[in-house]
Copies of this chain bind each other. A is one copy, B any other.
């Protein structure tokens, strides 16, 4: 039971699209990640996808709906089953929450679910 400083955790790595587990909340991984560029479109059929932008801004592309800009201090939750793609021109720092065992890439890649821990 120690306070977890998000900025300190983010300073420990520089790679993109590689979430790091920093805490556990019930059966969920709480993670920090850096995004830059474009992730593949994907969906999670059994979970919502939780994004809280900590620094910078990202675009969330959503199949069948207008894209959304999500800025620092803004939360965006993609409901389960919705095809989506985060992207950003500049690096963006994000807090993610997903059930343990859920791949970043959603249903297409279920064997690649384990995330590194900081």
Please report the total number of A residues contacting B with Cβ < 8 Å. Answer: 37
Q: Say whether B77 contacts A24, CB under 8 Å.
A: yes
CB distance from A92 to the nearest CB of B (A): 13
Taking CB atoms, residues of chain B closer than 8 Å to A82 are 1
Taking CB atoms, residues of chain B closer than 8 Å to A68 are 1-3
A50–B95 CA distance with the chains assembled, in angstroms:
13
Q: Say whether B3 contacts A76, CB under 8 Å.
A: yes
Taking CB atoms, residues of chain B closer than 8 Å to A79 are 1
A83–B25 CA distance with the chains assembled, in angstroms:
16
Contact of A75 among B22, B77, B80 (CB under 8 A): B22
Taking CB atoms, residues of chain B closer than 8 Å to A76 are 1, 3-4
